[in-house]
């Protein structure tokens, strides 16, 4: 990066929730805590346009001015996640429709269908107002489009607008119904169509719809998010030079985030480590151990994933990413909402900064005493006094200043492919009830982190695989000839399987049998797959096993097979370039195979304690203790110079030292 940004902290602020007389005090307290960035505006449509066309920007102008006077920088959100009631009443068919045909009505947020053309026009109108008015404001540092696309499961909509859009999309893609019939295999069960106007959305069918039909609907829906976002970014760029971001979510995959990121300058995401723990697939022991700090790998995975998104538009070296919302206390939306353990909020900030975040911004400034999120903690209590999070901000901002900390990232030797279409594919066709792509990818990610190495999560592109030593790509649905060629020319060691390269882009089993185009790299054929219930893993040796998924592989010339299962089938297939694992690894097997792959690729690794994670950033190594006990890391640190922390890490603490 030419000019790496200083790392800093921010906050999400809703001036419209509080009397104007308090705004000066808020700004003063923000500055006193070392906050530099303030996000505002993203849900304020009803206050900005109380009646159609009758704008009321006075209050937002004032808020900008107050923040500006205190030297604070504004991140301005477009308010399109919360269209006002009068707008919905004017065109009720803008509402999304769920899979069961129920309308998703007004009274919370995200009540719109991405495909609705007239709603898009309204978004263009309000975005234009925003961009013209604030695009050159001296306090403006960045834009946020909308808020959390897809939150509350809002990408897939089965509305009339979506049906119309989908038919057009299919007509453009296939040109003729026959071509579509062939691609989908509609000869099966007499599903052939004579025209695109006969095609319905893939809900409300008697039994499962054609997977190719669903896949195209998922692609169409993802494309709607991209074009909806681009409508706003195109308008903003006409009036403003400030960079544009959008706040992505954790464990959320219903649209292709790489594709949306092509139109964004900064990738940002919303990190709620404790809230996410419950959604995590780990067992109860793990959840209890990390109750108040969150899973040691889940937020880290998203930092790495969204860093990759930040690189899509600007290229690897100039990628930018932020944490737009960071939990500072208990949230309100998980089944249970525990408080962070002492040290946890600080640890999260360093996990993000170590991964190259420019900004960690807290959600939110002050806890409201009203409406849906009144139980969600903030930096200030509902009465305006300091809550614990405020003091954490004071501390972190001071440390960042002292360290003169900059957002820099170095390309990692090891890359893990994450591909959105693969997620959709295995949701559409899990074949075994609990088969989850993201969870499979996480198994490999966890194993890599346990080896103490930096990992880049990457899209399946030539650019992203170039220059790596090891590339891991489990479960990748469709490996194109081009991508296989890129892998081949990358010179990296490749670890793949299970299910990698098993389908073509039309959701058909690849012609030459799986792993399809990967057969260029390893000469094997997969002739049978089986899925198995949790009570019947495939036992290999010691505690190594396949859980839920196993493949029967026929190796051909130049491929060696090893590690027999109890019932006599080989599990690992290998040549000098590539390893193929024929099943879904349990945690010990993921550790085993990742260690073997690192070794084959010549990447040095250090097996860490279960609670310890490390991250290297330029010449600093950060060590994190996610666990409940003090852990001595002096062996790891040796006589290196400490930047902060101690060689003996207290529970949920961080130490940084010079490499």
416: which strand partners? 457, 472
Q: 226 — phi, psi (to 5°)?
A: -60, -45
Q: Which of 42, 325, 358, 574 is catalytic?
A: 325
| Closest by Cα among 415, 150, 100 to 269 | 150
Give the span between the Cα atoms of 481 and 157, in whole angstroms. Answer: 33
Cβ-based nearer residue to ligand GAL, 148 or 265: 148
Cβ-based nearer residue to ligand GAL, 151 or 596: 151
Give the span between the Cα atoms of 528 and 517, in whole angstroms. Answer: 18
Four-CA torsion 455, 457, 461, 466, nearest 10 degrees? -10
Residue indicated by tokens 């109750």: 291
Q: Is the peptide bond before 498 cis (omega within 30 degrees of 0)?
A: yes
For residue 480, give the 3-state DSSP assignment.
coil
Give the span between the Cα atoms of 245 and 256, in whole angstroms. Answer: 15
Cβ-based nearer residue to ligand GAL, 375 or 659: 375
Distances (CA, A) of 5 to 60, 232, 357, 406: 28, 26, 9, 6
Active site residue 99: no
Q: Measured from the CB of residue 362, what is the shortest distance to ligand GAL in angstroms?
A: 11
Question: Which secondary-structure segment (H or E) carries 406?
Answer: none
Q: Which of 42, 49, 122, 148 is catalytic?
A: 148
SS (H, E, C) 222-236: HHHHHHHHHHHHHHH
Q: Measured from the CB of residue 324, what is the shortest distance to ligand GAL in angstroms?
A: 8
Q: Kindly give, in sequence order, each residue whose CB lies less than 8 Å from that of residue 180, ignoring residues fewer than 6 positions away.
A: 170, 173, 174, 186, 193, 196, 199
Q: Measured from the CB of residue 332, what is the shortest distance to ligand GAL in angstroms?
A: 7
Cβ-based nearer residue to ligand GAL, 372 or 564: 372
CA angle 239, 241, 245 (to 5 degrees): 100
What are the residues binding ligand GAL (CB under 6 A)?
A: 147-148, 151, 270, 272, 325, 331, 333, 363, 373, 376
Cβ-based nearer residue to ligand GAL, 258 or 363: 363
Active site residue 530: no
CA angle 158, 163, 164 (to 5 degrees): 150
Cβ-based nearer residue to ligand GAL, 264 or 623: 264
Q: Measured from the CB of residue 254, what is the shortest distance to ligand GAL in angstroms?
A: 14
Q: Measured from the CB of residue 323, what is the shortest distance to ligand GAL in angstroms?
A: 12
Cβ-based nearer residue to ligand GAL, 9 or 464: 9
Give the span between the Cα atoms of 579 and 631, in whole angstroms. Answer: 35
Distances (CA, A) of 295 to 204, 274, 289, 434: 37, 8, 9, 20
Cβ-based nearer residue to ligand GAL, 244 or 409: 244
Q: Measured from the CB of residue 25, what is the shortest distance to ligand GAL in angstroms?
A: 23
Active-site residues, by number, are 148, 325
């Amino acid at each position: 990066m030419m000019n790496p940004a200083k790392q800093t902290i921010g906050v999400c602020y809703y001036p419209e929730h509080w009397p104007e007389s308090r705004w000066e005090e808020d700004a003063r307290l923000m500055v006193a805590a070392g906050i530099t960035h303030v996000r505002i505006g993203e849900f304020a449509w009803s206050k900005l346009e109380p009646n159609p066309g009758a704008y009321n920007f006075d209050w937002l102008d004032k808020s900008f001015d107050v923040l500006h006077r205190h030297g604070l920088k504004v991140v301005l959100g477009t308010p399109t996640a919360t269209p006002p009631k009068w707008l919905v009443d004017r065109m009720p068919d803008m509402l999304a429709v769920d899979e069961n045909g129920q309308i998703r009505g007004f009274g919370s947020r995200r009540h719109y269908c991405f495909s609705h053309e007239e709603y898009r026009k309204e978004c263009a109108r309000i975005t234009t107002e925003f961009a013209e008015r604030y695009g050159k404001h001296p306090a403006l540092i960045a834009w946020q489009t909308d808020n959390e696309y897809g939150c509350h499961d809002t990408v897939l909509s089965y509305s009339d607008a979506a049906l119309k859009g989908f038919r057009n999309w299919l007509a453009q893609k296939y040109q003729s119904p026959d071509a579509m019939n062939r691609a989908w295999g509609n000869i099966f069960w007499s599903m052939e169509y004579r025209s695109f106007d006969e095609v319905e959305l893939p809900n409300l069918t008697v039994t499962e719809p054609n997977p190719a039909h669903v896949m195209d609907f998922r692609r169409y829906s993802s494309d709607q998010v991209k074009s909806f976002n681009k409508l706003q970014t195109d308008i903003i760029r006409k009036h403003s030079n400030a960079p544009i971001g959008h706040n992505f979510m954790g464990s959320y995959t219903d649209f292709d985030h790489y594709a949306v990121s092509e139109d964004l300058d900064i990738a940002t995401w919303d990190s709620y480590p404790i809230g996410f723990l419950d959604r995590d697939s780990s067992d109860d022991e793990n959840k209890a151990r990390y109750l108040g700090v969150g899973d040691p790998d889940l937020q880290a995975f998203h930092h790495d994933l969204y860093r990759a998104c930040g690189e899509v538009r600007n290229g690897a070296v100039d990628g930018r990413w932020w944490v737009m919302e960071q939990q500072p206390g208990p949230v309100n939306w998980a089944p249970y909402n525990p408080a962070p353990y002492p040290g946890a909020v600080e640890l999260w900030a360093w996990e993000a900064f170590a991964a190259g975040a420019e900004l960690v911004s807290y959600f939110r400034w002050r806890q409201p005493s009203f409406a849906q999120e009144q139980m969600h903690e903030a930096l200030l209590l509902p009465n305006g006094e300091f809550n614990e999070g405020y003091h954490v901000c004071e501390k972190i901002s001071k440390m960042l200043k002292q360290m003169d900390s900059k957002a820099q990232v170095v390309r990692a030797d090891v890359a893990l492919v994450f591909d959105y279409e693969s997620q959709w594919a295995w949701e559409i066709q899990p074949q075994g009830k609990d088969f989850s792509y993201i969870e499979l990818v996480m198994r490999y990610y966890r194993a890599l982190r346990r080896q103490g190495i930096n990992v880049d999560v990457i899209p399946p592109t030539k650019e992203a695989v170039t220059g790596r030593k090891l590339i891991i790509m489990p479960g990748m649905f469709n490996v194109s000839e081009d991508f296989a060629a890129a892998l081949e020319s990358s010179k990296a060691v490749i670890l793949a399987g299970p299910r990698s390269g098993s389908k073509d882009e039309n959701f058909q089993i690849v012609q030459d049998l799986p792993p399809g185009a990967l057969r260029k790299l390893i000469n094997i054929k997969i002739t049978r797959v089986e899925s198995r219930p949790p009570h019947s893993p495939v036992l290999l040796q010691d505690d190594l096993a396949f859980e839920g998924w196993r493949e029967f592989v026929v190796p051909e010339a130049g491929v060696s097979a090893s590690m027999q299962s109890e019932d006599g089938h080989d599990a690992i297939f290998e040549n000098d370039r590539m390893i193929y694992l024929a099943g879904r690894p349990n945690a010990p097997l993921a550790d085993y195979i990742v260690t073997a792959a690192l070794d084959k690729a010549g990447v040095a690794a250090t097996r860490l304690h279960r609670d310890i994670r490390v991250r290297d950033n330029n010449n600093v190594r950060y060590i994190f203790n996610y666990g409940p006990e003090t852990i001595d890391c002096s062996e790891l640190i040796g006589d290196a110079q400490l930047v902060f922390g101690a060689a003996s890490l207290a529970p949920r603490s961080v130490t940084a030292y010079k490499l």
